[in-house]
Chains A and B, each alone.
Chain A
Amino acid sequence: MAVNFVSLNVVEGEILGLIGPNGAGKTTLFNLITGLYPPSKGRIVFEEKDITAAAPHARCRLGIARTFQLVRPFPQLTVLENVSIGRAYGRDSIKNRLQAEAEALEILEKVGLADRVSEKAHSLTLVHRKRLELARALATKPKLLLLDELLAGLNPSEVSASMELIQSIRNTGITIIMVEHLVKAVFGLSDRIVVLNAGQKIAEGKPAEVANNPRVIDAYLGSETYATH
């Protein structure tokens, strides 16, 4: 069982950081929230509505969007098409294609991809593909955005630019849960942090509290620092 008895609450408008060693079940939790995997037990509640049985696309239309750990834009489609799909099928979707494309273009401007609209997604660099995936998720007009290691593999200047982007997304009122290995980023951005280890929640609280929690140091940070067990 990848995730066991994890109770996770996210408050509207906050950034919740989700950390834990590899294999802790962070991505599995995302897959449960977005409906990619059905849970064998437990409930998923979004805005006081039980969505445990809802299909993945229905959850997206309710306002839950995500990015993938290994980026997955639609490779053979153009940048504009990728984001238009989000606008044409997400929450408050627009069925008129021209209008969906126009709004997609606005979102692409926000993430800095407006000059690449007609390029195929597979021809972009990693940082641009990550931006594109973020733009596609934003185009679904989410209330809750799940970011799965958005900053992994980026260089320092790309990381700080992306951190600003995440902050600006939160300022528009979107709630964010972010899985991140980059300590500086996750502690800098998060209002609260939840720590998972081997499918269990081992700590939860403000970044400063979590950083000093001995269980966290032992399970997560300590695995490298204290090799003697």
Chain B
Amino acid sequence: MMRRIVMRRIGMRDVAMTSPAALTRSRAWRGPVLMAGVIALAALVPVLIDKQDTLNLLFLICLHITLGQSWNILAGFAGQTSLGHAAFFGIGALVTRTLWLNGMFFPVAFLLSGLAAVAFAMLIGVPTFRLRGAYFAIGTLGIAEVLRITVSQNLPLISTMPAAEIAAYNLTLRYYVALALALTTIGAAALLLRSSWSLGILAVREDEEAAQATGVNVLGHKLLALFISSFFAGLAGGLFAFQQISYYPSAAFSPVWTFDALLITFIGGLGTIGGPVLGAIFFILVRQRLAVTLVEVHQIVFGILFILIVLVFPGGLMGAWDRLRPRAIAEALRSRRQLHKS
């Protein structure tokens, strides 16, 4: 049986080979090799470069890849546009910071940030999924804001690392944790997309009623996507708590975390694995640049950029790449044919 499946799959690929799109597919090995190269390079950066601000920038990119990808799992795969993502990030930050600064072994405190976010997701999942579309978006935004205000009222004091911790502060370690987390999140999203669970999750995004009629438990799959999404959002919060020397606890609950995740995913390409990665790199680099030259005004630039992307390139950077690629191939073929003629 398995052999037959494999034969069929190969057969399908043979058919595809005759199409121009297959030209790129036959170079499929390039993807993994390129990826391994990028990972190796990213791992070597602290050895090669001794500049703290570069390392800090790369840390931020990894943090935002995690944040964007976690939002993408819920919004891009399951189609549930949550505006309450900051709640999971904030809870993760609060849990890790509190436990770690009170003496808990960091890896445990870090893992608990993800689990605490999932616990909160369990609490709000069923009631919020009674809402759909814009109502779901507003409902989740409301929950996150209630949480932010509650935290800012009850924990108004700035949280600062103890002096000993600051003296021993190691950005390289933080960068490696961030890199490992970003890679884990990307890997988890990719694995999810290959599993049969993702079939149900994507079906829910496409058409809830048709999904039900095809045997998919709609609420169950929304919750599954929410739990995975909130787990990584919580860990991203835990990473933030590990990196910041001092911050107001409520800052981790700011809606900025939600909207950054949304911007990154839309810029890169909603519902794709590569989207949040490209989006995060683009977003952090451009923001860093704009923040220097335009200070606060740079937020407006991102607002305009967001509108332009939704209108002109609904697939984000990934979609733009796909749209331009066939054209590039057709041109290459044409020029080759002309070469043969002459």
Q: Which residues of A approach B to under 8 Å, CB–CB?
A: 34-36, 55-57, 60-61, 65-66, 68, 72-77, 81, 84-86, 88-91, 93-102, 105, 115, 117-118, 136-137, 140
Q: B71 to chain A: closest CB distance in Å?
A: 19
- Are B212 and A60 touching (Cβ within 8 A)? yes
B218 in the interface (beta carbon within 8 A): yes
CB of B327 within 8 Å of the partner chain: no
With an 8 Å Cβ cutoff, the count of chain B residues facing the other chain is 28
- The answer on a CB contact under 8 Å between A61 and B215 is yes
Q: Is the CB of B213 within 8 A of A60?
A: yes
Residues of A within 8 A of B45 (CB): none
**Per-residue CB proximity of B176-204 to A under 8 Å, as 1/0?**
00000000000000000011100110110
B285 to chain A, nearest CB (A): 30
In the assembled complex, the CB of B33 is this many whole angstroms from the nearest CB of chain A, namely 24
**Complex Cα–Cα for A73 and B118 (A):** 32
Bitwise interface map of B from 206 to 225 toward A, beta carbon under 8 Å scored 1, else 0: 11011111111110000000
B196 & A100 in contact (Cβ 8 Å cutoff): yes
Q: Among the listed A74, A91, A118, A136, which residue makes an inter-chain contact with B12, where contact means beta carbons less than 8 Å apart?
A: A118
Which of B4, B8, B15, B199 is the one whose CB lies under 8 Å from A85? B199
Q: List 14 A-B contacts (CB under 8 A).
A: A36-B212, A55-B217, A57-B211, A81-B202, A88-B196, A90-B215, A95-B196, A97-B194, A98-B5, A99-B1, A102-B4, A102-B5, A118-B12, A136-B214
Tell me which of B12, B210, B218 contacts A72 (CB under 8 A): B210
Q: What residues of chain B lie closer than 8 Å to A93, measured between beta carbons?
A: 215
A65 touches B213 (CB 8 A): yes
The residue on A at minimum CB distance from B216 is A89
CB–CB B202/A57 < 8 A: no
Closest to B204 in A: A74
**Cβ-defined contact, B217 with A81, below 8 A:** no
Among A73, A97, A102, A115, the residue within 8 A (CB) of B199 is A97
Check if B173 is an interface residue, CB within 8 A of chain A.
no
> Quick check: is B16 within 8 A (CB to CB) of the other chain?
yes
- Residues of A near B4 (CB, < 8 A) are 102
Of the candidates B196, B200, B205, B214, the one whose C-beta lies within 8 Å of that of A60 is: B214
Given A72-B207, A74-B206, A86-B215, A96:B196 Cβ within 8 A? yes
Across-interface contacts of A115 in B (CB, < 8 A)? 15
Extra pairs beyond A98-B2, A137-B213 (16, CB < 8 Å): A34-B213, A36-B209, A57-B218, A60-B214, A74-B202, A85-B202, A85-B211, A85-B216, A86-B214, A89-B199, A97-B195, A99-B5, A102-B8, A117-B12, A118-B12, A140-B214
Tell me if A74 and B207 are in contact (CB < 8 A). yes
Contacts of A68 in B (CB 8 A): 210, 213
Nearest B residue to A122, CB-CB: B206
* Most B C-beta atoms less than 10 A away, residue of A34, A75, A85, A98: A85
A100 CA / B200 CA spacing, docked (Å):
13
**Contacts A60-B212, A61-B215; A88 near B206 (Cβ below 8 A):** no
A61 / chain B contacts, CB cutoff of 8 Å = 215
Name the residue on A nearest B13 (C-beta): A118
Residues from chain B with a CB closer than 8 A to the CB of A118 are 12, 16
* B215 and A60 form a contact (CB under 8 A): yes
- Chain B residues numbered 1-31 whose CB sits less than 8 Å from any CB in chain A: 1-2, 4-5, 8, 12, 15-16
Residues of chain B within 8 A (CB-CB) of A57 are 211-218
Chain A residue at smallest Cβ distance from B209: A36
* Contact call A81/B199, Cβ cutoff below 8 A: yes
B202 engages A77 (CB within 8 Å): yes
Complex formed: what's the CA distance from A7 to B1 in Å? 45
Closest to B12 in A: A117
B252–chain A nearest beta-carbon distance, Å: 34
